[in-house]
Each structure stands twice: as structure tokens, then as C-alpha cells.
């Protein structure tokens, strides 16, 4: 993995004009074992913040609809998870407020941030009505923090845990009461290990464990079935450090429904958290989500090298982290938020900009659908991952080639037959384009991966020995 990162960083600094000539690498052979399955895929998603999808407002209705179809439709990303942040600015309702009669305590309808985010969520749910809705606080209200600020970290005093738990429960009830939307997943905190200039709050693992033991009974008291997530550390290592105390506590552990980590940092050098979270998930039968990642650079960047970096993150998160869900940071980063890329680039001169990284994500998300399972691939250590559908009669393989050289590959299927194989490629020249391929054998696929490419193979499958 370190070699991949070094090669990729080197290539990013090189232009096409200075790249060495393309030659074929040594052939690589792999054995696909559909009989050996790993995690079940929950899906793919992206996040929302204040104004996210309203950033598409300048587009014509036709282009705006195209954007939604690209994000949620079957020929684009096909996202099925909507992640968004919870406002910290909601004020208590007046004693005679109509929502008081419905049992609510806070005035979410007059909270500007809540309503802005709801507009984004509402528009997305119109295009993905069955999407998993997942909410995460970036900071509690400042009245419960020791630094009195929404940003630069701070902590919540234990004596305020109960009131804060009621605040979060009230928000979930508001979505159900006012909009008929069930928030399926609630995170305890976004990146509890950081203190930054945007909304943030720091929690130790012990503090998250203690808060979990207060929050869960509050949700149950309100009749809410929302699943609780920990710990969304900014790296897999930080996520493990802050999830471990809850997992070691028998009372808290039973309320941990999802383990989560973010993919940031120099994780090629220090990354024990991947294996530790993965093993804990197997031990306690709790799924792992990669709940946020993004790439730093110009939002409109269309580089295949950036796309390969994102695709390699997906590979590591699904294969090494055993992640069931994979979520990009935001659908669209506002151009004023310097340096970070969304799935889509900000609207520029009334034009929808679809960057190359979008199609690299689609190499996974368009074909590996909810309910699919990852299966074993034997062979050279190489960025390959394989999956089968719930019925066991379809397969998908995603292969990365981050080399300047083309790479001949052969995938042999263990005690299985394949049919109707199709190939889709994202490269400097193609955006998830179908590539002609003729497969003579019913037990293997031979293909030459283009330089700097992400390639997806899909087809029918019949397993003879399960």
C-alpha cells in the first residue's frame, strides 16, 4: 500500500507529456472465490451541510434534474445514504407554541440552519425516497460546552449530558413529526478527536461511552428506534481509540449499532485502527461504516490521479476495513470552503461540473448495491475487490491500475461459471464507459487494464459448490 501511495503522489506531479512510455506490465492472475463471503454492503452516500443542494439553484431545471439523476439515479452514483449535520442553534419553544402540543421542546422550524439543511435533504429524498437518513452533530449548543464556542473543540460537562440527549431526541422527533422522515442513524459526534475553526467538540472514549449510556435510554423513552453510531474519528486509529471504551463496557456495547471511522490522515504509515475496528466488528457482530472522506484540492479538478486516489480509498475501506457503507464528505462543497472537493464540483458559470472522481466512485456504487456481499479474491497483492448479489447469480469486480503501464489480468472463478460479462472503465479518456470485451471461457475473464484506470467487470454467475 505504501508503494501505491508513493507511485500515485509521483504521478500527480507529472504531466502526460513527461510520463514514461506505456508498456505492458507482467500478467497478473487472480482466483475469485464466491463461496467465501465477507461483509454485506449497506450502500454508498454523501453528506449535506447548510445550502448543499441549493448550490444547484443557478442551474436550469433540466441541468438541475440531471444533477440529481447523476447523484441518485441508476446510471450515476445511485447513492442511498444521506448524511447531514444537526444544528446547534435551535432555541426552546415558547410555552404556547403549536409544536409544544406535539411534544417538542425546541423551535426547529425557526432555526435557520435546520431549515436550510432540510431543504437539501427534502430535495434528495424526492429522488431517493428509500434512502437511509443519518444525522450527526458537529457541536452541541454552546451553553453546554466549557469553551462557550461552537468551534475550536471544547467539552460537554457530564452534568449536561441529560439535557443534550433530550436535545438530540427532540431533533429526531421533529423530523418525524414535521416531515414524516425517520432518522435511521444518529452519530454521537463528528470527529471527536479534533478542535478546529469549524463546528467541533472533543470527547474522549470514556466520555462517549458515558454519554451513550445516557442517550440510549432517552431515545427509548421517546419511543425512537434510531441506531447509534460511534465514534467517527478523523482517522481509523482515532475512531478505534474512542470506540474501544464503549465496546469494553457490556452496558454501553449493546447500544452500539454501528462503528464508524473517517478516512483522513497519513493512513499508509499508521493505520492499526482498520484491523482493530474490523476485528471488533466481527467479534461483536456490529457493522463498520466509513462515514466521511474527501480530497483536498481545487473543487473542479478533473484529474484521473485524484480519481484514482479516491478509488484506492474505497478499496482499502471496503477490503481492509470491512466497511459496509462508504460515504463521501459532501455532495457539493461550497466554493468558499477552501481546498476541499465535493462529489460534484460547485456550479461554475451556470454549468454543472462533473469531475473525474465522481465516475471513479460510480465504478463501485453503481454496481455494488445494498445487500451485495464482498467475496474473496486470491492472487498478487493488488487493488482488486469482488462482490456478489444477494441471490448469488451476479458478480462485480473492481480493479485499479495506478501504473503508467497497461496491465494484463486474468480472473478465474472457483467452481463457478460466468456469463454475459461487461466491462466499464474510468480513465483519462473515459467516464465509466463500456469497453467491448469478448469472453470465450465460462470460468475466467482475461482483460488488459489501461494505465491509470478504474475498471469494473460485471456479469452473471452460477456457483457449483457453495
Are the CB atoms for 199 and 139 separated by under 8 Å? yes
In the predicted model, is pLDDT for residue 13 greater than 60? no
Lowest mean pLDDT among 51-65, 343-357, 417-431: 51-65
Whether the Cβ atoms of residue 193 and residue 242 lie closer than 8 Å to each other? yes
Q: What is the mean pLDDT of residues 70-77?
A: 96
268 versus 7: the higher-pLDDT residue is 268
CATH fold group of domain 2-38+375-463 = Immunoglobulin-like (2.60.40)
Angle, CA of 186, 187 and 193, to the nearest 5°: 170
Is the pLDDT at 8 greater than 70? The verdict is no
pLDDT at residue 244 greater than cutoff 60: yes
Residues in Cβ contact with 46 at an 8 Å cutoff, skipping those fewer than 6 apart: 71, 77, 79, 81, 82, 83, 327, 328, 329, 330, 331, 342, 343
Which three cell numbers mark 54?
441549493
Rg (CA), the chain: 23
Question: What phi and psi values does residue 55 have, to the nearest 5 degrees?
Answer: -65, -15
What are the b/e assignments for 209-247, b being 16+ CB within 10 Å? bbbbeebbebbeebebebbbbbbbbbbbbbbbbbbbbbb
Q: What's the confidence (pLDDT) of residue 54?
A: 64
pLDDT in tens, 407-431: 999 999 999 999 999 999 999 999 9
For 265: left if phi > 0, alpha if psi spans -120 to 50, otherwise beta; the answer is left
Q: Which of 314, 335, 334 is nearest to 323 (CA)?
A: 314
Confidence of residue 349 (pLDDT cuts 50, 70, 90): confident
| Short-list 195, 99, 208, CA closest to 164 | 208
What's the whole-number mean pLDDT along residues 310-332?
95
Pick from 64-78, 181-195, 232-246, 324-338: least confident: 324-338
pLDDT of residue 3 exceeding 50, the answer is no
The pLDDT-based confidence of 14 (bands split at 50, 70, 90) is: very low
What local confidence, expressed as pLDDT, does residue 26 receive?
A: 73
* pLDDT at res. 371: 98
Q: Rounded distance, CA 35 to CA 259, Å?
A: 26
Cα 261 from chain centre: 10
| CA–CA gap between residue 310 and residue 328 (Å, rounded) | 10
Q: What is the DSSP letter of 332?
A: B
Taking the mean position of all CA atoms in its chain, how far away is CA 80? 10
Q: Cβ–Cβ contacts within 10 Å for residue 370, how many?
A: 17
- Distance of alpha carbon 49 from alpha carbon 330, whole angstroms: 7
Mean pLDDT across 192-201:
96
Confidence of residue 335 (pLDDT cuts 50, 70, 90): low
437 pLDDT more than 50: yes
Instruction: Specify the length of the chain in residues.
Output: 466
Output the pLDDT for position 18.
40
Lowest mean pLDDT among 51-60, 194-203, 327-336, 340-349: 51-60
Label the pairing between strands 81-86 and 132-137. parallel
Residue 376: how many other CB atoms lie within 10 Å: 14
Look over the chain and give the mean of its residue pLDDT values, rounded to a whole number: 91
Q: Between 335 and 243, name the one with better pLDDT.
A: 243
Query: What is the model's pLDDT at position 24?
Result: 59
- pLDDT value for 352: 86
- Tell me which residue has cell 441518485: 72
The answer to whether the CB of 37 falls within 8 A of the CB of 388 is yes
Average pLDDT, integer, range 343-362: 89
Question: What are the φ/ψ torsions at residue 212 (nearest 5 degrees)?
Answer: -55, -40
Predicted pLDDT at 267: 53
Count Cα neighbours of 171 within 13 Å in the Cβ-side half-sphere. Answer: 31
- Reference 65, options 127, 132, 117, 131; nearest CA is 127
pLDDT greater than 70 at residue 300: yes
- Contact in structure between 395 and 387 (CB atoms under 8 Å): yes
CA distance 188 to 203: 10
Cβ proximity of 434 and 366 under 8 Å: no
Out of 11-20, 345-354, 362-371, which region has the weakest mean confidence (pLDDT)?
11-20
Task: Check whether 439 has a pLDDT greater than 70.
Answer: yes
Helix axes 304-319, 356-365, angle to 10 degrees: 30
pLDDT at 6 over 60: no
Secondary structure of residue 216 in the 3-state scheme = helix
For the stretch 117-134, pLDDT in tens is 999 899 999 999 999 999
More confident residue, 334 or 211: 211
Average pLDDT of span 70-95: 96
Domain boundaries, the chain: 2-38+375-463, 42-371
Q: Looking at the DSSP assignment, which residues form a beta bridge with residue 290?
A: 261, 326
Distance CA 340, CA 354 (A): 15
DSSP H helical segments within 81-160, as ranges? 112-127
Say if residues 291 and 260 touch (Cβ distance below 8 Å): yes
Report the topology of domain 42-371.
TIM Barrel (3.20.20)
Cα–Cα distances in angstroms (integers) from residue 117 to residues 99, 121, 124, 320, 345, in the given order? 20, 6, 11, 33, 19
Share of the chain above pLDDT 70, in %: 91
How far apart are the C-alpha atoms of 225 and 184, rounded to whole Å? 7
- Is the per-residue pLDDT at 17 higher than 50? no
Q: What is the pLDDT of residue 4?
A: 34
* 264-276 pLDDT, tens digit each: 976 555 578 999 9
The answer to whether domain 2-38+375-463 and domain 42-371 are alike in fold is no
- H or E element at residue 304: helix 304-319
> Which grid coordinates are listed for 253?
456495547
Integer Cα distance of 396 and 233 in angstroms: 30
Cβ atoms of residues 258 and 185 within 8 Å: yes
Tell me the mean pLDDT in the region 78-107. 95
Amino acid at each position: 500500500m505504501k508503494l501505491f501511495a508513493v507511485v500515485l503522489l509521483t504521478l500527480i506531479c507529472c504531466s502526460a507529456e513527461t510520463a514514461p512510455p506505456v508498456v505492458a506490465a507482467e500478467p497478473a492472475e487472480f482466483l475469485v472465490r464466491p463461496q467465501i463471503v465477507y461483509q454485506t454492503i449497506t450502500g454508498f452516500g454523501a453528506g449535506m451541510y447548510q445550502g448543499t443542494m441549493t448550490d444547484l439553484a443557478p442551474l436550469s431545471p433540466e441541468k438541475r434534474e440531471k444533477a440529481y439523476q447523476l447523484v441518485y439515479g441508476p446510471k450515476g452514483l445511485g447513492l442511498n445514504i444521506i448524511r447531514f449535520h444537526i444544528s446547534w442553534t435551535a432555541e426552546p419553544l415558547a410555552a404556547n407554541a403549536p409544536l409544544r402540543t406535539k411534544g417538542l421542546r425546541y423551535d426547529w422550524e425557526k432555526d435557520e440552519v435546520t431549515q436550510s439543511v432540510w431543504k437539501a435533504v427534502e430535495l434528495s429524498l424526492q429522488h431517493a425516497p428509500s434512502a437511509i437518513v443519518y444525522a450527526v452533530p458537529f457541536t452541541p449548543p454552546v451553553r453546554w460546552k466549557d469553551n462557550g464556542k461552537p468551534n475550536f473543540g471544547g467539552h460537554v460537562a457530564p452534568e449536561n449530558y441529560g439535557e443534550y440527549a433530550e436535545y438530540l431526541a427532540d431533533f429526531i422527533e421533529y423530523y418525524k413529526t414535521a416531515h414524516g422522515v425517520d432518522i435511521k442513524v444518529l452519530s454521537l459526534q463528528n470527529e471527536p478527536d479534533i478542535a478546529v475553526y469549524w463546528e467541533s467538540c472533543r470527547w474522549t472514549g470514556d466520555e462517549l461511552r458515558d454519554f451513550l449510556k445516557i442517550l440510549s435510554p432517552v431515545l427509548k423513552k421517546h419511543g425512537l428506534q434510531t441506531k447509534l453510531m460511534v465514534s467517527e474519528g478523523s482517522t481509523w486509529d482515532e475512531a478505534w481509540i474512542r470506540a474501544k471504551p464503549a465496546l469494553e463496557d457490556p452496558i454501553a456495547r449493546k447500544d452500539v449499532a454501528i462503528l464508524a471511522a473517517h478516512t483522513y490522515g497519513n493512513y499508509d504509515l499508521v493505520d492499526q485502527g482498520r484491523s482493530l475496528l474490523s476485528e471488533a466488528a466481527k467479534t461483536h457482530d456490529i457493522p463498520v461504516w466509513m462515514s466521511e472522506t474527501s480530497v483536498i484540492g481545487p473543487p473542479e479538478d478533473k484529474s484521473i490521479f485524484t480519481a484514482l486516489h479516491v478509488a484506492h480509498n474505497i478499496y482499502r475501506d471496503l477490503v481492509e476495513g470491512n466497511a459496509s457503507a462508504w460515504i463521501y464528505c459532501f455532495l457539493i462543497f461550497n466554493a468558499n470552503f477552501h481546498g476541499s472537493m465535493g462529489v460534484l464540483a460547485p456550479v461554475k458559470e451556470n454549468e454543472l461540473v462533473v469531475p473525474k472522481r465522481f465516475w471513479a466512485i460510480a465504478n463501485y456504487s453503481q454496481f455494488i448495491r445494498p445487500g451485495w456481499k464482498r467475496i474473496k479474491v486470491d492472487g498478487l497483492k493488488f487493488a482488486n475487490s469482488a462482490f456478489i448479489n444477494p441471490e448469488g447469480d451476479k458478480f462485480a469486480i473492481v480493479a485499479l491500475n495506478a501504473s503508467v503501464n497497461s496491465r494484463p489480468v486474468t480472473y478465474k472463478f472457483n467452481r463457478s461459471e460466468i456469463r454475459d460479462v461487461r466491462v466499464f472503465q474510468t480513465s483519462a479518456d473515459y467516464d465509466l464507459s463500456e469497453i467491448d470485451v469478448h469472453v470465450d471461457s465460462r470460468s475466467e475473464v482475461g482483460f488488459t487494464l489501461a494505465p491509470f484506470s478504474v475498471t469494473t467487470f460485471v456479469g452473471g454467475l452460477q456457483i457449483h459448490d457453495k
